[in-house]
Structure 1
């Protein structure tokens, strides 16, 4: 093996390892139970999931669309929406601070709230 080939393999291994670490850290479950439901860059709900009862909230958008948000056992997710691709529904339960639930057609975001903004 040539020196260039060895360096190439080492660089690929380093990039792969860094990528795996970044994915693991990015998917780490959040310790926070405070969430915000944001639409059109405005907070419409701020909830503490540890204190919320199981319920479903329908959020309507200005274009007539809607998202059904389910809170159950201290977890939050979008269970139904009238958007065409339903990416927000497929996202599942909000688990990570770095990966919010987003519905682009309805300009809706569900994310963990910053503790300093309380």
Structure 2
């Protein structure tokens, strides 16, 4: 089976929450093979490691197949062009940020010192 999936997806930008439009245009190719155990019992012939091969059943689920292809093509983290993460303006901005980048718990020692006072 072969076909073409075309869709326009609108998602929220992970940074600015603005609308991100993504155009998806992909070809779909699948080969349906009979279950080899039922057709040839005892034959040990592995199914090739090919993502276009599907086992043939009594019904071919075209909706499920196109849904799977669409979900795999949609960007996981859509981002508007030019969108940047705003500076939090907290105590760890600027030069202090360099000291805590590799140490996620470095801020806790500062917090502990404040609590001791």
Larger radius of gyration: 2
Q: TM-score, normalized by length of structure 1?
A: 0.26
